[in-house]
């Protein structure tokens, strides 16, 4: 019965109007109005066979209700008290659903789930995509997989990282997780209609990161390189090393000083970070 609530824009509008709720632009609220997309999210999560789920941004509680059928415990975190109250009323009677009204970035996974490995699900607004991804990566020891609906451009950059079409955020995410794009989602699948299309995608956290150097050294290299994209790597590194140190580090790492840093693979980035760490000790 719940999936019918996202059959169309008119159905979603009716539910919101009855509750006296208008989408909050500052919070980047775009409600799903496409049953097939909701079904795809549920199918993807179901394949993961989770026991406990954290849902970020519960909207009308439609996906929450469907997910509650396949897990022992689901916690929905919603920053908007209007939506949190609406979801509590709509999901009343589902004993394995818990709704907390707070900012996900301050949510304590250990307090809520203990040592359990959880699956995270969410439709993430563009303006807070990066902070939420950093939060998820930093809490990866409590998370097995993540299923997200986010802006297409951001996901494509992450999927192409490291690389000339990638991003520093993408390298950070890919350093700790496998990334799989599941399906492209039209902007018309949301109300209000956003300016860009989205992508449904999945993160699966790795047992070990894709680098062996110290994290501070590795991500210092990444930040420096992607902060000065299209610069030769010997030029990009001038903010952290002098000319003699740059030459030595690149020689030791067997990297051409004239290439652009964003073309480096994880192996090359790691080797450079190892050599920089030795020089700066």
Rounded Cα distance, 32 and 2, in Å: 13
Span(s) in the chain for CATH 3.40.50.150: 2-205
Q: Quick count: other Cβ atoms within 10 Å of Cβ 241?
A: 18
Residue 53 CA to residue 145 CA, distance in Å, equals 10
pLDDT for 253 equals 96
Distance between CA atoms of 6 and 32, rounded to whole angstroms? 6
- CA 257 to each of CA 167, 233, 238, 246: distance values in angstroms, whole numbers, following the listed order: 20, 6, 12, 9
From CA 103, how far away is CA 101, in angstroms rounded? Answer: 7
Sheet holding 73-78, edge to edge: 97-101, 73-78, 52-56, 118-123, 143-151, 198-205, 177-185
In which residue ranges of the chain is pLDDT below 70? 1-7
> What pLDDT score was predicted for residue 239?
85
> Which CATH code for domain 215-280?
1.10.8.100
Q: How far apart are CA 54 and CA 36, in angstroms?
A: 21
Long-range contacts of 262-265 (CB under 8 A, 24+ apart): 262/162, 262/163, 262/164, 262/166, 262/225, 262/226, 262/229, 262/230, 263/163, 263/164, 264/162, 264/225, 264/233, 265/162
Under 8 Å between Cβ of 61 and 5: no
CATH 1.10.8.100 in the chain: give the residue spans: 215-280
Look at residue 1 in the predicted model and tell me its pLDDT. Answer: 47
CA atoms within 13 A on the CB side of 3: 14
Instruction: Write the CA distances from 8 to 36, 173, 187, 190, integer angstroms.
Output: 11, 34, 13, 9
CATH assignment of 2-205, among 3.40.50.300, 3.40.50.150, 1.10.510.10, 3.30.413.10: 3.40.50.150
SS3 19: coil
Q: The whole model's pTM is what?
A: 0.94
pLDDT score, position 5: 65
Alpha helices by DSSP H, listed for 7-128, are 9-18, 35-47, 62-67, 81-90, 109-113
Cβ neighbours of 172 (radius 10 Å): 23
Asked if residues 167 and 157 have their Cβ atoms less than 8 Å apart, the reply is yes
Place of tokens 């301050």: 106
Give the integer Cα–Cα distance in Å for 147 and 127: 18
């Amino acid at each position: 019965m719940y999936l019918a609530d996202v059959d169309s824009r008119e159905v979603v509008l009716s539910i919101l109007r009855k509750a006296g709720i208008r989408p909050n632009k500052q919070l980047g609220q775009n409600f799903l109005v496409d049953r097939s997309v909701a079904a795809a999210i549920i199918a993807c999560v179901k394949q993961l066979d989770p026991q406990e789920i954290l849902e970020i941004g519960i909207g009308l509680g439609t996906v929450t209700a469907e997910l509650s059928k396949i897990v022992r415990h689901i916690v929905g975190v919603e920053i908007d008290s209007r939506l949190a109250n609406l979801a509590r009323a709509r999901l009343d009677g589902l004993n394995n659903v818990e709704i907390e009204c707070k900012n996900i970035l301050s949510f304590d996974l250990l307090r809520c789930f203990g040592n359990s490995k959880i699956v995270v699900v969410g439709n993430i607004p563009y303006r807070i995509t990066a902070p939420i991804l950093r939060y998820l990566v930093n809490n990866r020891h409590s998370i097995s997989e993540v299923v997200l609906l986010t802006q297409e451009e951001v996901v494509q950059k992450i999927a192409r990282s490291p690389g000339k079409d990638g991003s520093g955020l993408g390298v950070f995410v890919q350093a700790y997780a496998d990334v799989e794009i599941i399906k492209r989602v039209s902007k018309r699948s949301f109300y209000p209609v956003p300016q860009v299309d989205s992508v449904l995608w999945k993160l699966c956290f790795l047992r070990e990161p894709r680098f062996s150097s110290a994290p501070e050294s590795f991500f210092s290299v990444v930040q420096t390189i992607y902060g000065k994209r299209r610069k030769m790597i010997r030029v990009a590194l001038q903010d952290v090393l002098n000319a003699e140190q740059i030459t030595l580090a690149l020689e030791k790492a067997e990297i051409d000083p004239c290439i652009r840093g964003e073309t480096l693979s994880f192996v090359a980035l790691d080797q450079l970070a190892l050599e920089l760490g030795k020089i700066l000790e």
